[in-house]
A and B are shown apart, each in its own frame.
Chain A
Amino acid sequence: MKNNPLLITTLCLDKRTRKAFELYFRSVCENRFVLTADETRANVIILDMDAVNGHQEYVYLRKNEPSKPVILLSLVHRELEETNAFLIRKPIDHNDLLKILNRLAAGIDAETVSKVETHGSVDSNHAPVVSDAVYAANCLGKEELVHFVGEHADIDINKPREVLAVTYSPEKMFQGAVCRAVSLATKHQTPIEVVAFGIGVVIDPAKHLAYSAVNDSVLRPLCLLETEDPPQYRRLKERFLEQDLYTLKMKKGAKLTAHDIEAFIWKISLWSSRGRVPKNTNLRACAGLTAWPNLTRLEPIPDGLRITALMMRELLPLVEVAKQLNLPQRYVFSFYSAARALGYANNLSSSSMGIVKNQHKLAAGESRSILGKLLNRLTKKPAVAIPQKHAV
């Protein structure tokens, strides 16, 4: 093989990129590597996994030519099971590509070639990255309530430091990535895959479902992390959705779970909020709801019904809602954050919301007493949470 050039074919690359490779192989590599259009003659395949049909092509290749080395180009990290598959992260570092091609050209036994993920340089001693998700999954053990509403004490909104302590930045977190994916999927009416913190979620707007291959014990601590790295979004084709979902499942080797989109956003928002509000929330301004969230199908939070009823009745600052209902502020803050993530809540003036303030008189005296007893009666039988998952 020393005198014969390594024949390379490309799949799913656009013309311009292919031309760039051709030039590179001819000039820098001095024709040691040559592009060919004949896939059967090629020794190596270079495949762009980010292309629309990239994944489908890869599946086809593994099925029909399992022994042929494949170099995958991708923006995102991908777990590779095969020993003759190599991943080069974009933007491509030509030195990384050269090292892999030289090894293959030297006829190294495909079984002994390590899987390499390059993100700067190829390093055979490269330690596997422990994803934030796995690390976070090891820090568990609090009650469900704390996961949703946290534990911090009420704040004084006149003290900026205390206010800062109860704000968070959903746009930098898993919540923001998923919400953006839902927004894109709804806008374009096409499935979207989002990868953030090493976790992939597929949003299917047609079925109103979000698919994930990790369970709550991994997702929950992940929802507290922030990052400056932008999430990756990929449009999926409806007809390849089953395959993409299969890939999502196989990456994690776990059961795929389908969640109702609203229930999923509600839950991850509560986990992300933990009794806090989004950073741009004006705690002095009134907050209102445009509609009752579908509370029978969402994870319950303490006093969710009462908070909703008051916020639907009149516009009040969030701290005032907590005060009137005699609740910890963090219950109201969590509720507001989740409702806002679903588009039900915002800081608005009464004129812009067009509210008809509820004119019903509040119950008093004897009426209140009997209603209190009715409430007692209704809440006696324990409520069983309704799961919104379907195993796939």
Chain B
Amino acid sequence: MTTGNLKIVFTGPVGAGKTTAIATLSDDAPISTNESATDMTQKRKSETTVAMDYGTMKLDGREKIHLYGTPGQERFNFMWDILTNNALGVIILVDNTRPDPIKDMLFFINTFRAIIDETALAVGITQTDRSVLPRIEKYQDKLKELHLRAAIFEVDAREYRDVSMLVQSLLFSIDPGLECAS
């Protein structure tokens, strides 16, 4: 892991909350490359990310962690490989109101499996207040089938505590003994 350009990648389907999650964590106003949605996306949101979202978390000393959000639509998937280079780990956000959010999760796990196997994964399920089903146990069962021991939490992408815990679980998956730097 090259420490100079560490990044965390947020991915997931359209409307899952990637842009919001990055905005929640980022110290500066995140850069968001949005466009008006045209296709099916339009039914879910008026704007959509077309290249990526970018934010930063400033650390003590002059280091920073880069936060990248991938565009959710498949036609931008050429960006995904580029964005995952030198990633600390991958955070998949899925929207529980979508018709088949577990299938969404599986799609992104398969897409990013190589980098996940090298680094770490955490999954956040958003919009569970609007749709309680499928319940988290269904997601957990799927991860077990794939032999993935990743954290999976219900999150509100607007809430700092939720997104922070998701990223922390990523870090502790890499090293449970990690402690706050003094």
Contact = CB atoms under 8 A, between A and B. Distances in A.
A296 interface: yes
A292 interface: yes
A371 B168 CA distance: 10
A374 B161 contact: no
B153 A297 contact: yes
Contacts of B88: 371
Contacts of A383: 160-161, 164-165
Interface in B159-180: 159-162, 164-169, 171-180
B59 A309 contact: no
A172 B167 CA distance: 39
A376 B61 CA distance: 12
A158 interface: no
A377 B59 contact: yes
B147 interface: yes
Interface string A355-380: 01010101100111111111111110
B174 A371 contact: yes
A131 to B, nearest CB: 34
Contacts of A324: 176-177
A348 B172 CA distance: 23
B136 interface: yes
B161 A366 contact: no
B83 interface: no
Contact of B143 (A291, A325, A360): A291
Contacts of A367: 1, 3
B59 A370 contact: yes
A375 B174 CA distance: 12
Contact of B176 (A306, A368, A372): A306
B155 interface: yes
Contact of A377 (B57, B147, B159, B177): B57
A192 interface: no
A371 B171 contact: yes
Contact of A375 (B61, B162, B179): B179
Interface in A307-341: 307-310, 312-313, 324-325
Given A375-B171, A377-B59, A363 B152 contact: no
A106 interface: no
A53 interface: no
Contact of A372 (B1, B143, B161, B181): B181
Contact of B169 (A297, A305, A372, A373): A305
B62 to A, nearest CB: 11
B157 to A, nearest CB: 12
Contacts of B154: 294, 296-297
Contacts of A291: 140, 143-144, 152
A377 B58 contact: yes
Nearest to B133: A208
A375 B178 contact: yes
B171 A208 contact: no
Interface string B1-22: 1010010000000000000000
A290 interface: yes
B175 A305 contact: no
B64 to A, nearest CB: 10
Contacts of B147: 356
Nearest to B61: A373
Contact of B178 (A208, A294, A372): A372
A294 B119 CA distance: 22
Contacts of B160: 381, 383
Contact of A305 (B1, B152, B165): B165
17 contacts: A296-B154, A305-B172, A306-B172, A309-B172, A313-B173, A324-B177, A370-B59, A371-B88, A371-B174, A372-B179, A374-B59, A375-B179, A375-B181, A377-B58, A377-B59, A378-B57, A383-B165
Given A375-B179, A377-B65, 19 more contacts: A292-B153, A294-B152, A294-B153, A295-B169, A306-B172, A308-B151, A309-B176, A313-B176, A363-B174, A366-B3, A368-B175, A369-B181, A371-B175, A373-B60, A377-B58, A378-B57, A379-B164, A383-B164, A383-B165
Interface of B: 1, 3, 6, 57-61, 63, 65, 88, 118-120, 132, 135-136, 140, 143-144, 147, 149-155, 159-162, 164-169, 171-181
Interface of A: 208, 290-292, 294-297, 305-310, 312-313, 324-325, 356, 358, 360, 362-363, 366-379, 381, 383-384, 386
